[in-house]
Amino acid sequence: IKSARNLHRIIEDGQGEAADLQTLGAIYALQSSDYVTARDYIGQALELAQYSKNKVLEVDTWLEFGLALEGLQDYEKACNAFEQMRAIQKKTKYQRGSLDAEAGLARCLVQEGKLPEAQQKIEIVFNQLALANEAWPVKYPAHLYLSAHHIFSQVGDPQKATNALDRGHTWLQRRSEKINDLEWRASFLENIADHQKLTKLVTHHAKATTAN
């Protein structure tokens, strides 16, 4: 990806370079939770995306930027990123990642202490996730399931929190079964932070249920 970025820079392809920077940032965030590096790469990508006036690229980059900022616990800027993304989407037909952004805004409401509003928003996202068949409006399904689990736990609804884990685990298993190469399948399950966290939570919940 870094080689591709250098090539795009040489030929002055700003949109291509922005996409490369966005991907690099996402990799650092997803694989190693290095949100500082992720923020820096994605911040550069955002500047290029805005300059290019490519709204699709800008939408995707705002989402990644918001997630990186959230990872750094810079919630005010993260919430602004999600709001910027949704504002653009409401003016366009490009809706990829819309549920991810709405879940991000629900997490923002939690940070603001607005738990009833957060619950209402995440329930809408959770229901739409099933209707969308976890496809186009969703970029990071595991993160959405974890968000739903966290918020339902925060508002004291253990049944819905458990349901979020169960559905997330089902999605993870079905998705991994589509990967024929065993090494790639293991990497999918073990080398992505959200997938690791989801698996650990499911295992912990199963042990706690058995103990009771």
pLDDT tens digits for 106-120? 999 999 999 999 999
What's the pLDDT at 7? Answer: 61
For helices 158-177 and 193-211, what crossing angle results, to 10°? 130
What's the pLDDT at 205? Answer: 86
In a domain, 45, yes or no: yes
Tell me the CA distances in angstroms from 99 to 50, 89, 134, one per residue in order: 22, 11, 10
In a domain, 28, yes or no: yes
In a domain, 21, yes or no: yes
In a domain, 108, yes or no: no
Structure-token pair, residue 50: 């805005």
- DSSP state letter for 34: -
In a domain, 212, yes or no: no
Long-range contacts of 158-161 (CB under 8 A, 24+ apart): 160/123, 160/126
**Coil, strand or helix at 53:** coil
Q: Residue holding tokens 């990642």?
A: 97
Average pLDDT over residues 125-141: 78
- DSSP state letter for 112: T
> What amino acid is encoded at 82 in this protein?
F
Q: How confident is the model at residue 75 (pLDDT cuts 50, 70, 90)?
A: very high
Domain, as residue range, for 39: 1-71
Q: What is the pTM of this model?
A: 0.87
Query: Which percentage of the chain shows pLDDT scores above 70?
Result: 91
In a domain, 187, yes or no: no
Q: How far apart are CA 78 and CA 61, in angstroms?
A: 12
In a domain, 8, yes or no: yes
Structural domain tally of the chain? 1
In a domain, 29, yes or no: yes
Query: 138 pLDDT exceeds 80?
Result: yes
